[in-house]
Amino acid sequence: MEMRNVGASGLKVSTLGIGCNNFGVRLDAGQSAAVVHAALDHGVTLFDTADVYPMGEGGTSEDFLGKALGNRRGDAIVATKFGMKMDPEGTRRGGSRRYIIKAVEDSLRRLGTDWIDLLQFHEPDADTPIDETLRALDDLIRAGKVRYIGSSNFAGWQVVEAHYLARELGLNRFVVTQELYSLLSRDIEREVIPACQKYGMGLLPFFPLASGILSGKYELGKGAPEGTRLATSQSLADMFLSESNLVEAGKLADVAAGCGKGLIDLAFAWLLRDAVVPSVIAGASTPEQVARNAEAVAWQMSADDIAKVTDALS
308 is a domain residue: no
170 is a domain residue: yes
Domain with 28 in it:
3-219+267-301
Q: Is 53 a catalytic residue?
A: yes
CB 162 within 8 A of CB 130: yes
List, for residues 132-146, the tens digit of each pLDDT value: 999 999 999 999 999
240 is a domain residue: no
Q: What is d(CA 285, CA 34) in angstroms, rounded to the nearest whole number?
A: 9
Q: Which of 53, 99, 148, 199 is catalytic?
A: 53
Q: What is d(CA 38, CA 40) in angstroms, rounded to the nearest whole number?
A: 6
Looking at the whole model, is its pTM more than 0.85?
A: yes
**How many domains does one find in the chain?**
1
**Average pLDDT, integer, range 86-106:** 90
156 is a domain residue: yes
Question: How many CA atoms are closer than 13 Å to the CA of 267, on its beta-carbon side?
Answer: 32
List, for residues 24-52, the tens digit of each pLDDT value: 988 999 999 999 999 999 999 999 999 99
The CATH number of the domain holding residue 170 is 3.20.20.100
Question: How many CA atoms are closer than 13 Å to the CA of 175, on its beta-carbon side?
Answer: 22
196 is a domain residue: yes
Question: How many CA atoms are closer than 13 Å to the CA of 32, on its beta-carbon side?
Answer: 26
Peptide bond into 129 cis (omega under 30): no
Q: Over pLDDT 70: what percentage of the chain?
A: 95
Kindly tell me if the per-residue pLDDT of 217 is higher than 90: no
Residue 281's DSSP bridge partners are: 17
18 is a domain residue: yes
